[in-house]
Structure 1
Amino acid sequence: MNLKLFGEVFVTLLVIVDPPGMVPVFLALTGTMPTKQRTRAGTQAVGLALGVIVVFAVAGQTLLDYLHVQLPALQGAGGLLLVLVALQLLTGKTDEPSEQGGTTNVALVPIGTPLLAGPGAIVATMLFVRRAEGAPDYVVIGLAILAVMITVWLVLRFSGVIVKLLRPGGIEVLTRIAGLLLAAIAVQLIADAVAAFVRLYSA
């Protein structure tokens, strides 16, 4: 087993996904849910993120080439999606859907994608796959991705302890802060996409 490759993939994706940084946003979106629903939302989000990353690892470049989509376009789309979610958090309109529908929606968008399986994680995974030199390397990359997602799931699973400490008032404050942070992430994604397009078409 190529431990060096495993370490590179694991650390790179873990830094990009940033589980500790995900906690405020996750709690802002699920803090009012019962523990069981919040756990299910975290599991669904991680499952979706794992599926998206694996799909792009296997067929990402082929899919983008077929659709004539450049990687910066993917970044820009993710940024625009996060802007919408950030506005919802900042205006306090995240509790409008029904409980069941809300759990599913929150788990899939924005937690599953583009927060966990965002442009950064997708691009990094695709680059590692390009570097792979055979089946053993593909297996190592797959195991590293799985290890990252298990780590993320554990962090989200035990975020309920923070909910108990913060109480409703603290969750409200955290929601506004998370909205601001999410807006900043979205603007950065869009700026990176614009910069990438400028480099791409000025070369």
Structure 2
Amino acid sequence: MESTSVLSMFTFSFASMFAMVNPIGMTPVFLEQTKDRSVSERHLLAYRVAAYGVALLVLTLFFGSYVLQFFGVSLADVQIAGGLFVFYTAWTMLVASPARTSDQKGRSDSIGGDIAFFPLTIPITAGAGSLAVTLSLSSRIARGDSHPVAGYVGATLGICLVFITVALCYRFSDKIFARVGAAATGAITRLTAFLLLAIGVAVTWDGLKQLILSLRAG
């Protein structure tokens, strides 16, 4: 196993995955989705999202293409489904009232008891774009762009480092935005939600384009 191959794949996977996961930009989304939770619950959720994200993407790195083939699901299908849910989440954030009643809060707690995996990990943090990047990393390794062992080690380390960053950003989200102030936090949340809305549209449209092109080719 060549150290240069490990370093090369680590650098490539970290850079591409960090840009797609965007832990800094997703921090307001995490804070908005967990605003009804206590501080200790929010901190625990941050660590669980990071752990789930690493597990999900590392499994995708090794087995994702086989799972998609087994179920007859294309990457375009994953992109459309993930994009639609990201769009729904962003729209909910945009139109949500600043304060909810205690009855609404109780309903959200009873319905969404464990939100760490869905929707906080997938599709908000590790969405269709992250899955696509991970599958492309797997494809690069399979093509022999680097030594297989070095490629998988480098890609796994890159994914782990990205989600360490996710854990830190989400863990300290409350402290960061407590210093920013309520008004600025609301503005940042709305802006992030709008950008997330655009991302949802882009991911969905990219999947639709692939399906349309496949129909034309057929």
TM-score (norm 1): 0.87
Residue pair 1:41, 1:103 contacting (<8 A) in 2 also: no
Off by >6 Å, runs of 4+ in structure 1: none
Give me the whole-angstrom Cα distance separating, in 1, the residues matched to 2:212 and 2:188. 36
Residue pair 2:26, 2:192 contacting (<8 A) in 1 also: no
**Pairing of 1:107-122 with structure 2 (within 5 A):** 107-122=116-131
Residue type matched to 1:200 in 2? S
- Look up the SS of the partner of 1:104 in the other structure: coil
Corresponding residue of 2:62:
58
**Pairing of 1:122-141 with structure 2 (within 5 A):** 122-132=131-141, 133-141=147-155
Corresponding residue of 1:162:
176
Q: 1:32 to 1:162 in 2, by over 3 A?
A: farther
Displacement of 1:191 in angstroms is 1.0
Corresponding residue of 2:202:
188
Displacement of 1:173 in angstroms is 4.2
Corresponding residue of 2:114:
104
Q: 1:18 to 1:56 in 2, by over 3 A?
A: same
Residue type matched to 1:39 in 2? H
Residue pair 2:75, 2:132 contacting (<8 A) in 1 also: yes
Residue pair 1:13, 1:121 contacting (<8 A) in 2 also: yes
Give me the whole-angstrom Cα distance separating, in 2, the residues matched to 1:116 and 1:141. 18
Give me the whole-angstrom Cα distance separating, in 1, the residues matched to 2:202 and 2:111. 30
Corresponding residue of 1:19:
23
Q: 1:162 to 1:102 in 2, by over 3 A?
A: farther
Corresponding residue of 1:80:
84
Give me the whole-angstrom Cα distance separating, in 1, the residues matched to 2:35 and 2:60. 31
Q: Deviations over 1:136-158 (max 9, x none)?
A: 22112111111111111111122
Give me the whole-angstrom Cα distance separating, in 2, the residues matched to 1:70 and 1:13. 21
Length, aligned pairs only: 202
TM-score (norm 2): 0.82
- Is 1:36 aligned with 2:17? no
- Look up the SS of the partner of 1:33 in the other structure: coil
Which residues of structure 2 form unaligned runs of 5+? 142-146
Determine what percentage of the aligned residue pairs are the same residue: 28
Which residues of structure 1 form unaligned runs of 5+? none
Displacement of 1:12 in angstroms is 0.6
Displacement of 1:83 in angstroms is 2.5
Give me the whole-angstrom Cα distance separating, in 2, the residues matched to 1:130 and 1:190. 22
Is 51-60 or 128-137 further displaced after alignment?
128-137
Is 41-50 or 93-102 further displaced after alignment?
93-102
Is 42-51 or 68-77 further displaced after alignment?
42-51
Displacement of 1:16 in angstroms is 0.7
Give me the whole-angstrom Cα distance separating, in 2, the residues matched to 1:35 and 1:188. 34
Q: 1:193 to 1:98 in 2, by over 3 A?
A: closer
Is 67-76 or 164-173 further displaced after alignment?
164-173
